[in-house]
Amino acid sequence: MNYNIALIHGDGIGPEIVDEAKKILDKVCEVYGHSFTYKNVLLGGASIDAHGVPLTGEAIEDAKSSDAVLMGSIGGDAKTSPWYQLDPSKRPEAGLLAIRKALNLFANLRPAYLYDELKAACPLKEDRIGDGFDMIIVRELTGGLYFGERKTFEENGVKTAVDTLSYNENEIRRIAVKAFEIAGKRRKKVTSVDKANVLDSSRLWRNIVEEVARDYPDITLEHMLVDNCAMQLVHNPGQFDVILTENMFGDILSDEASMVTGSIGMLSSASLNETSFGLYEPSHGSAPDIAGKGIANPIATILSAAMLLRFSLNLDKEADAVEAAVEKVLSEGYRTVDIMSEGCEKVGTSKMGDLIAERIR
Ligand code: NAD
């Protein structure tokens, strides 16, 4: 089949890592008989340099007309880059928020997976790691506290600030459906995280998630309070399959989960809307400190491309093949500098891409 993929190379190490992910997608085409048509789209600093703004209407249209978007990362060094002399609404990050909004990307997926070979990087003790862990956090991305009404005011000489946490049943239902659909492709367990002992928004969250669960009788649903979940992630991370949660809880828990894997250069992410369309990007930033040196780890972006195959193109077999190729390269002892350990062979960005591509079957 032919698919249209928008590529956002971005800034810093973005172009280097996206080139490697494209190499992998091209190999998937060759092995599985697909064809991908790519369109380069500018976002962030690269767009500021070319057009004076971090995102143009044309870029949004190009992204919308594709089946999926694969992105590197955007942004520069805030101390030295001229992009940060601009008004905040014109800086690289504003473009990222704007494209997420324009594409209605309400579901953020962040897997946290511990590779056997990288166990040494995990900050948890052996007995906590057990047989490892493989979870995915499904976070609501366009509602809740970050999008509610807010104000700061002074009353009788006392400064006060208010942020509003609001969810309606439709917002909860659509993210819950995503989580159950994803669990159906995995180990069939959803842990819905809330603060239902205190918050009304969480009580509604819990009710709607239970309603959705009735449509998925083969999936186990459990509820967990967010404070307990924060503890369980470091106490027994192996218990989780899909964690479903609202925007702010997800923001905090997904960073916690990624820290327990210990290697930022390995973590992929996806942001999806109601259709199968999605924007896929590594969880790390544009690493300006190592840009252009050919040493960045491309694996997070390559695994993001695997998520693109799985969630937007419904090519599970192909996604499995990419993930297996990454595992194989790690098990053979090849490492980029950020995950290097004794006895392994150090390779650069492009070589790592070649090694993974060669192992796609
Ligand atoms: P960062 O993730 O870019 O870098 C943190 C550290 O991790 C650096 O030492 C970097 O060299 C290293 N690192 C990150 N990715 C790596 C990789 N693939 N291989 C090897 N090492 C890697 O975070 P930061 O320094 O806080 O931010 C740099 C820029 O990235 C900022 O402009 C920030 O706004 C932007 N940023 C963008 C996104 C995004 O595009 N979604 C996300 C986070 C940060």
Residues of the chain with confidence (pLDDT) below 50:
none
pLDDT of 204 reads 98
pLDDT of 1 reads 86
Of 41, 280, 286, the one to substitute when testing ligand 1's pocket (max ligand atoms within 8 A of C-beta) is 286
- Per-residue pLDDT tens over the stretch 132-185: 999 999 999 999 998 899 999 999 999 999 999 999 999 999 999 999 999 998
**Pocket lining: 54 vs ligand 1, CB cutoff 6 Å:** no
Q: Please work out, in degrees rounded to the nearest 5, the angle formed at the alpha carbon of residue 307 by the alpha carbons of 254 and 253.
A: 5
**Pocket lining: 14 vs ligand 1, CB cutoff 6 Å:** no
- Bridge partners (DSSP) of residue 237 are none
Looking from the CA of 338 toward its CB, the CA atoms found within 13 Å total 19
pLDDT of 56 reads 98
Query: How many Å lie between the centroid of ligand 1 and the Cα of residue 285?
Result: 3
The answer for 311, left when phi > 0, alpha when psi is -120 to 50, beta otherwise, is alpha
pLDDT of 258 reads 87
**Pocket lining: 287 vs ligand 1, CB cutoff 6 Å:** yes
Secondary structure class of 356 (helix, strand, coil): helix
pLDDT of 120 reads 84
Q: Which atom of ligand 1 lies at the shortest distance from residue 282's CA?
A: 41
Q: Which atom of ligand 1 lies at the shortest distance from residue 284's CA?
A: 2
**Pocket lining: 264 vs ligand 1, CB cutoff 6 Å:** yes
Are residues 189 and 238 in contact, defined by beta-carbon separation less than 8 angstroms?
no
**Pocket lining: 246 vs ligand 1, CB cutoff 6 Å:** no
Query: How many Å lie between the centroid of ligand 1 and the Cα of residue 77?
Result: 10
pLDDT of 169 reads 98
**Pocket lining: 76 vs ligand 1, CB cutoff 6 Å:** yes
**Pocket lining: 265 vs ligand 1, CB cutoff 6 Å:** yes
Of 301, 293, 304, 303, whose CA–CA distance to 348 is shortest? 293
Secondary structure class of 319 (helix, strand, coil): helix
| H helix or E strand, kind and range, residue 153 | strand 150-155
From residue 7, alpha-carbon distances to 68, 186, 220, 241, 263 in Å are: 9, 28, 37, 30, 24
pLDDT of 130 reads 87
Residues 6+ apart with CB under 8 A from 11: 44, 45, 46, 72, 73, 74, 75, 76, 92, 286, 288, 291
Q: Which atom of ligand 1 lies at the shortest distance from residue 300's CA?
A: 18
**pTM of this structure:** 0.92
Ranges of H-type helices in 33-145: 45-51, 57-64, 92-102, 126-129
Are residues 257 and 139 in contact, defined by beta-carbon separation less than 8 angstroms?
no
**Pocket lining: 303 vs ligand 1, CB cutoff 6 Å:** no
pLDDT of 97 reads 86
Ranges of H-type helices in 119-242: 126-129, 169-184, 200-213, 226-235
Supply the residue whose CA is at minimum distance from atom 41 of ligand 1: 73
From residue 205, alpha-carbon distances to 50, 144, 199, 251 in Å are: 44, 11, 10, 17
Residue 359 neighbours by CB distance under 10 Å: 17
Query: How many Å lie between the centroid of ligand 1 and the Cα of residue 269?
Result: 14
Taken in order of first residue, the domains within the chain and their CATH numbers are 1-113+274-361 (3.40.718.10), 123-260 (3.40.718.10)
Q: What residues act catalytically?
A: 146, 195, 227, 251, 255
pLDDT of 121 reads 84
Give the burial class of 21: count Cβ atoms within 10 A of its Cβ; 0-12 exposed, 13-18 middle, 19 or more buried.
buried
Amino acid present at 110 = R
pLDDT of 256 reads 93
Query: How many Å lie between the centroid of ligand 1 and the Cα of residue 48?
Result: 19
Supply the residue whose CA is at minimum distance from atom 7 of ligand 1: 287
Q: Which atom of ligand 1 lies at the shortest distance from residue 78's CA?
A: 32
